[in-house]
């Protein structure tokens, strides 16, 4: 810790653009007057980390060893706390916390706190996430523990619209915004039509495609919740209220 602020470590590269946007959002949301008020940050964009969903579904190599190596690299450089620039990677957070001494914040835990704050009357919560996140029930388990009902997409809609928005040749990972956005809005509308009273945006790349102005109920962005807690833990100040900005093609 220097000058009363904690040194923040970010594990990015999952995907690369989402990690860059995560860091940019932290800069935009941190209340500052001069350059020196910003959070000292070490960003490790580790693009070698295997795909998290494929790893969880046993369709590819484990993501955990390079995630652990990334966290250890940040720890060796004396960061005070770490955030993961990928929601699906939170599948491994308990294992990481058992091996890393510095604090690791959880996007899942912070999302539940934001739901309590922004949608206190909501009981049926729609969950948008990668298939890896859905299959591991990261958000479903947290919602159940809080006495809330999780609403998830049918498998065919999940694969066609959510995973298609991410991984199709015209998806966001290939650098295309509008086709991916169209698919995600169809997925969101299914949740709304089936009674979602609030929706979790549970992937680091979703904020590149849609935001609260696209949703008729409270939309809780997991990465935004994580960023806001990181800013508070590092500075002792609440993050600024600024809307997310989607990228252009």
- Tell me the three state secondary structure of residue 112: helix
Cβ atoms of residues 111 and 220 within 8 Å:
yes
203 is catalytic: yes
Cβ atoms of residues 139 and 200 within 8 Å:
yes
Beta-carbon count within 10 A of 53 CB? 24
102 is catalytic: no
Catalytic hit among 86, 102, 215, 234:
86
- Using DSSP bridges, classify how beta strands 103-104 and 41-45 pair: parallel, antiparallel or unpaired: unpaired
Torsion of CA 143, 55, 66, 160, to 10 degrees: -70
Cβ atoms of residues 53 and 76 within 8 Å:
no
* Positions marked active-site: 86, 203
């Amino acid at each position: 810790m220097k000058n009363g602020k904690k040194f923040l470590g970010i594990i990015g590269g999952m995907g690369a653009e989402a990690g860059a946007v995560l860091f940019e959002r932290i800069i935009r949301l941190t209340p500052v007057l001069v350059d020196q008020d910003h959070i000292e940050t070490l960003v490790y964009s580790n693009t070698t980390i295997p795909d998290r969903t494929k790893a969880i579904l046993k369709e590819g190599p484990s993501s955990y060893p390079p995630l652990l190596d990334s966290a250890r690299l940040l720890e060796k450089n004396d960061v005070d706390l770490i955030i993961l620039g990928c929601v699906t990677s939170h599948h491994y957070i308990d294992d990481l916390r058992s091996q890393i001494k510095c604090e690791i914040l959880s996007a899942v835990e912070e999302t539940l706190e934001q739901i309590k704050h922004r949608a206190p009357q909501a009981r049926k919560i729609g969950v948008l996430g990668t298939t890896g996140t859905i299959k591991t029930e990261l958000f479903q388990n947290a919602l159940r523990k809080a006495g809330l009902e999780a609403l998830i997409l049918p498998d065919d809609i999940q694969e066609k619209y959510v995973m298609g928005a991410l991984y199709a040749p015209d998806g966001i990972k290939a650098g295309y915004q509008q086709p991916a956005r169209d698919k995600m809005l169809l997925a969101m509308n299914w949740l709304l039509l089936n009674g979602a009273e609030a929706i979790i945006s549970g992937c680091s790349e979703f904020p590149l495609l849609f935001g609260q102005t696209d949703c008729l109920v409270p939309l809780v962005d997991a990465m935004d919740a994580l960023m806001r807690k990181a800013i508070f833990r590092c500075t002792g100040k609440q993050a600024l209220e600024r809307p997310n900005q989607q990228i252009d093609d």
